[in-house]
Amino acid sequence: MYTRKIRATGETLTVARPEEVNADPEGGKWVTVCKDHKTMAYSATEKLAYYVHGIDFCDGCREGSPAPVVKAEPAKVKATTAKTAR
């Protein structure tokens, strides 16, 4: 079981086996839990569970409350000059 925070949205998601979070094991082998809104989505593999985001299954995350989108600065790009072959 591990928990991660999505930087773009601020949501906190936990990926675990159902028995680790007291969920029904009949849903699938892995579960992604939105800690902010107490919702979950089942997946067949750990990799699929890892790539599930809150907006994929959680109404609270879709509405943006109380996990608002984090404002971030765009990535800085180093300017380069192209040299032409002679």
The answer to the question of residue 8 being in a domain is yes
The answer to the question of residue 71 being in a domain is no
Euclidean distance between the first and final Cα of the chain, in Å?
58
Which has the closest alpha carbon to 58: 44, 75, 40?
40
In whole angstroms, what is the distance from residue 41 CA to residue 39 CA?
Answer: 7
Which pLDDT tens digit goes with each residue over 3-44? 998 877 788 999 999 999 999 988 899 999 999 899 999 999
The answer to the question of residue 33 being in a domain is yes
The answer to the question of residue 28 being in a domain is yes
The answer to the question of residue 42 being in a domain is yes
The answer to the question of residue 79 being in a domain is no
**Total domains in the fold of the chain:** 1
| Other C-beta atoms lying within 10 Å of the C-beta of residue 10 | 16
Q: Could you list the residue range(s) of the whole structural domain that residue 25 is in?
A: 2-63
Which pLDDT tens digit goes with each residue over 44-76? 999 999 999 888 898 888 887 544 455 667 667
